[in-house]
Amino acid sequence: MSKPPPWLEVERGDAPLLLSFPHTGREIPADCTAGLVSPERAIRDADWFVEKLYAFAAELRATTVRTALSRTVIDVNRDPSGASLYPGQATTGLVPSETFDGLPLYLAGHEPGEQEIERRRAEFFSPYHAALADELARLRAMHGAVVLYDCHSIRSSIPRLFPGELPVFNIGTNDGKSCSPRLAEAIQTVCRSSPYSHVLNGRFKGGWITRRYGQPHTGIHAVQMELAIRSYLHDEAAPHWDADAARPMQDVLRKILEACLEFGRAAVRGDHVRAAG
């Protein structure tokens, strides 16, 4: 693997587990700031401190891929064609022009045009996915099977996107297409034993990463985990990292990743195939 650009962080492990962090970044390159309403608004919808929440993943020898760039620069978890992942529902695009709440990110008439979007796709979107593909190929070559776990978080209440309060754990498997049902069940089992609410394939069924790479028949099992921010931060409106406040959630997340690893290792041994036979 060639040296990644400064904004792309790849930490290699040797376990059959890869964690993706597409929305935790808050950096905006100078050549992407023109026309923005404000820097604060541009990072409003970040997945706050999720990379800190899963910092223990290195202890499990998992591989991690993270972009330090804000999703306002380009959203690496969207269909690169610009097609909506949730037709008929409010969402944001490949290069968002508004926040989750519908507020404009750019001054009127200063939104990125097609040429600028294409530049960002080539400079920022493609390297992220090249890194994901390379690491998945490396881990599959080592093990034969791998779990891709896509890490996210979101505010608990965003009326424009969903009614009421979101469950804490929102597990997305593209309606069962992106991973074995055994993996989904293993994650749900941990969630059921926790003090937190959960749902499988509710409002969030998995973004482009889950849908693009999740191919169980090839040995790649992908799942998206969208966490309600209230579960690990005191204040969703003014996010501030507090290690003590986050620890109970980290304890559950460790169990979830351990369940993913157990599934992955069983898949490597072929246990799931024999059990189904």
With 70 as the cut, is the pLDDT of residue 273 above it? no
AA identity, residue 83: A
8 A C-beta contact, residue 89 and residue 71: no
8 A C-beta contact, residue 168 and residue 197: yes
Q: Which domain holds residue 161?
A: 8-276
Pairing of strands 146-154, 220-228: parallel
8 A C-beta contact, residue 232 and residue 245: yes
- Give the domain CATH number at 181: 3.40.630.40
Q: What values do phi and psi take at 40, rounded to 5?
A: -65, -45
User: Looking at residue 39, what is its pLDDT?
Assistant: 96
Q: What values do phi and psi take at 115, rounded to 5?
A: -65, -40
Residue 88: band (very low, low, confident or very high) from pLDDT cuts 50, 70, 90: confident
Tell me, yes or no, whether 2 lies in a domain. Answer: no
**pTM, 2 dp:** 0.95
- Residue 240 structure tokens: 């501030």
**How many whole angstroms separate alpha carbon 206 and alpha carbon 85?**
9
Tell me, yes or no, whether 143 lies in a domain. Answer: yes
Q: What is the pLDDT of residues 19-34, one digit of tens each?
A: 999 999 999 999 999 9
Tell me, yes or no, whether 74 lies in a domain. Answer: yes
User: Looking at residue 269, what is its pLDDT?
Assistant: 65
Averaged pLDDT score across all residues of the chain: 95
